[in-house]
């Protein structure tokens, strides 16, 4: 299938060649690169900022796996399926939970230093939705930073893994058969590779992370602008479950005007016994779910939002004062320092919190080997939809998903290489020239997109709220087309490419969310408050039309 849509950008001024190009340097991308190299294939890693600047290093809670005595993959599977609210792919979940423990052990063997008890065993804690202690953590609440450190060091030790930092991926390149043959990118810097270039490869792996920056308040870093999902849509790939965005219940509330990345207060704080309370000190999760504060995240986020509405306020509180100073310092040093930096001391006062966009359960649709609907294009990590999260991700399954499915992608590429199914690919330059150029919004469109999405497509949604969001997004698109028609287009640069990606993923998300007329998992419709298995226990598959707009189709039962 030929690419029919492409970002407006200059022609590539330089080229590079490799066997596998990996876009992203979080747990998923670096695991793919390391395992591809072990199979004897050349790997090139493209990352948007520095090698360790993605979402992985911000993960606090840990990685879930059945490592503890008495725990089993079957119990982990049950908890994951319950959290996924009927939309998990059970085969994918079984793959995750059965291959997960050994994947974590291999990560430890690579050098990741997890917290251990006096007996030397890895310490395990609980988070929302888990009925067992199965969350392995590092540095108390700095698990992602430790995993990132170990993987980055391993990658830097391998001289045959090529790195391109400060590079924004633009679009997929294909051969005459529609097979992925590389990608275009823009390097932000000076040197032999700067400006727009092209990487030619036998296969392309997207590990670009999430799209949290489509909302005003998010736990995601500024680089999480949905670049991978947008690229895949423009390349003709299927994406699915975009309506299921998980809002983390406990994000540090910094005031009504705060925008952008917000500090996370890990679910592990509740796992250790902190309570959610309102301004009067009343615990409001007791009686709402058997696990109270440790209910699945969608239930907790909705309960917080409802309580905020009832009290006409924009935040609630997380009370961990009973921990004492020593436990805060030992178990949650990162969160303690972050709170104190913002003038809040969890040792002596409750932490003001509010839900914020956290994790995209949906993404580029893949099979159990990470293959997308475009031949030669793979996806793993948050950019992908493997089917393990369903309608609501179980806490700390994301790092595990990145590990397990990255290894499976590398294994699939190695097998294809051995079978002679990964020949060199000649880029079809005619298809690239014939692709419809996507006009670029002005940079200031980013903030307006975020405000529209937070206002109409946040924790609580309705047909009216999403129609208003869709209307606002259409206005931005119309203004962008008008500027092009008047020969006053926005300049092709990082800010306008990111705005274009955000506009596309926002439009696709609203299209799917408006179509799903039920409440399920982290998709909560005020006008359709009940779950409807008869009609909606199926996935919405989103693609682009010939004109470049998203359309969502309900999969066949």
Distance, in Å, from the CA atom of 458 to the CA atom of 522, rounded to the nearest integer, reads 10
Maximum Cα interatomic distance, the chain, rounded to a whole number of Å: 71
Give the integer Cα–Cα distance in Å for 153 and 146: 11
Q: What is the CA radius of gyration of the chain?
A: 22
202, 297, 393, 425: which one is catalytic?
A: 297
Structure tokens at 210: 């999430």
Residue pair 71/134 in contact by the 8 Å Cβ criterion: yes
What SS3 state is found at 352? strand
- Find where tokens 């919405």 sit: 540
Strand bridging mode 180-187 / 195-200: antiparallel
34: its two tokens = 């390391």
Is 297 considered catalytic here? yes
Report how far residue 477's alpha carbon sits from residue 202's, in angstroms, rounded to the nearest whole number: 35
How many residues in total does the chain contain? 557
Alpha helices in 128-183 (DSSP H): 143-157
Residue 330: its H or E element: helix 325-331
* Burial category of 437 from C-beta neighbours within 10 Å (exposed 0-12, middle 13-18, buried 19 and up): middle
Q: CA 91 → CA 71, 104, 157, 207, 388, distances in Å?
A: 20, 20, 35, 22, 9
Q: Are 435 and 6 in contact (CB under 8 A)?
A: yes
SS3 of 533, please?
helix
47 Cβ contact list (under 8 Å, min separation 6): 23, 24, 25, 29, 53, 54, 163, 164, 165, 166, 167
The alpha carbon dihedral of 495, 501, 505, 511 has a sign of positive
Tell me the C-alpha to C-alpha distance, in Å, between residue 83 and each of 180, 305, 435: 35, 19, 41
Unique residue bearing structure tokens 């909705």 = 302
Closest Cα to residue 482, out of 429, 447, 446, 441? 441
What is the rounded CA–CA span in Å between residue 401 and residue 388?
Answer: 8
Whose CA is closest to 60, among 149, 152, 121, 145? Answer: 145
User: Any idea what DSSP says for residue 202?
Assistant: S
6 neighbors 233 (Cβ within 8 angstroms): no
Active site residues: 297
């Amino acid at each position: 299938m030929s690419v029919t849509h492409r970002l407006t950008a200059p022609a590539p001024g330089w080229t590079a060649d490799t066997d596998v190009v990996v876009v992203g340097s979080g747990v998923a991308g670096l695991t793919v690169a390391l395992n591809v190299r072990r199979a004897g294939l050349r790997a090139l890693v493209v990352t948007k900022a520095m090698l360790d600047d993605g979402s992985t290093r911000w993960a606090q809670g840990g990685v879930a796996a059945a490592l503890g005595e008495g725990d089993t993959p079957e119990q982990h599977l049950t908890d994951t399926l319950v959290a996924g609210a009927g939309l998990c792919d059970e085969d994918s979940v079984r793959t995750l939970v059965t291959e997960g423990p050994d994947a974590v052990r291999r990560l430890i063997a690579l050098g990741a230093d997890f917290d251990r008890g006096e007996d030397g065993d890895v310490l395990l804690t609980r988070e929302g939705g888990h009925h067992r202690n199965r969350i392995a953590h590092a540095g108390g609440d700095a698990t992602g930073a430790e995993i990132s450190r170990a993987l980055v060091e391993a990658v830097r030790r391998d001289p045959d893994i090529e790195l391109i930092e400060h590079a924004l991926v633009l679009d997929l390149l294909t051969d005459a058969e529609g097979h992925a043959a590389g990608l275009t990118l823009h390097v932000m810097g000076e040197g032999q590779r700067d400006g727009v270039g092209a990487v030619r490869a036998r296969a392309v792996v997207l590990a670009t992370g999430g799209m949290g920056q489509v909302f005003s308040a998010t736990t995601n870093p500024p680089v999480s602008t949905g670049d991978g999902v947008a690229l895949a849509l423009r390349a003709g790939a299927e994406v699915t479950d975009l309506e299921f965005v998980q809002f983390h219940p406990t994000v540090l509330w910094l005031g009504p005007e705060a925008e952008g990345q917000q500090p996370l207060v890990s679910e592990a704080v509740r796992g250790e016994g902190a309570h959610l309370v309102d301004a009067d000190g009343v615990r409001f999760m007791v009686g709402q779910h058997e696990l109270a504060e440790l209910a699945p995240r969608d239930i907790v986020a909705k309960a917080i939002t409802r309580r905020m509405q009832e009290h006409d306020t924009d935040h609630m509180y997380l009370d961990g004062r009973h921990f004492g100073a020593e436990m805060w310092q030992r178990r949650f040093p990162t969160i303690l320092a972050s709170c104190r930096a913002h003038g809040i001391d969890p040792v002596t006062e409750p932490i003001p919190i509010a839900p914020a966009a956290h994790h995209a359960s949906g993404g580029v649709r893949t099979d159990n080997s990470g293959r997308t609907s475009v031949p030669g294009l793979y996806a793993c990590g948050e950019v992908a939809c493997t089917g393990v999260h369903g309608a609501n991700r179980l806490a700390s399954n994301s790092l595990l998903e990145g590990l397990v499915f990255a290894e499976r992608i590398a294994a699939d590429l190695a097998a294809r290489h051995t079978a002679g199914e990964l020949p060199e690919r000649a880029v079809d330059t005619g298809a690239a020239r014939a692709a419809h150029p996507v006009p670029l919004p002005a940079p200031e469109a980013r903030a307006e997109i975020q405000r529209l999405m937070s206002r109409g497509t946040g924790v609580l949604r309705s047909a009216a709220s999403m129609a208003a969001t869709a209307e606002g997004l259409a206005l931005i698109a119309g203004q962008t087309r008008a500027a092009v028609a008047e020969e006053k287009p926005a300049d092709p640069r990082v800010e306008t490419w990111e705005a274009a990606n955000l506009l596309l993923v926002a439009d696709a998300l609203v299209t799917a969310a408006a179509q799903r007329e039920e409440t399920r998992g982290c998709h909560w419709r005020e006008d359709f408050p009940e779950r409807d298995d008869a009609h909606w226990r199926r996935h919405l598959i989103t693609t682009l039309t010939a004109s470049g707009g998203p359309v969502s189709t309900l999969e066949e039962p």
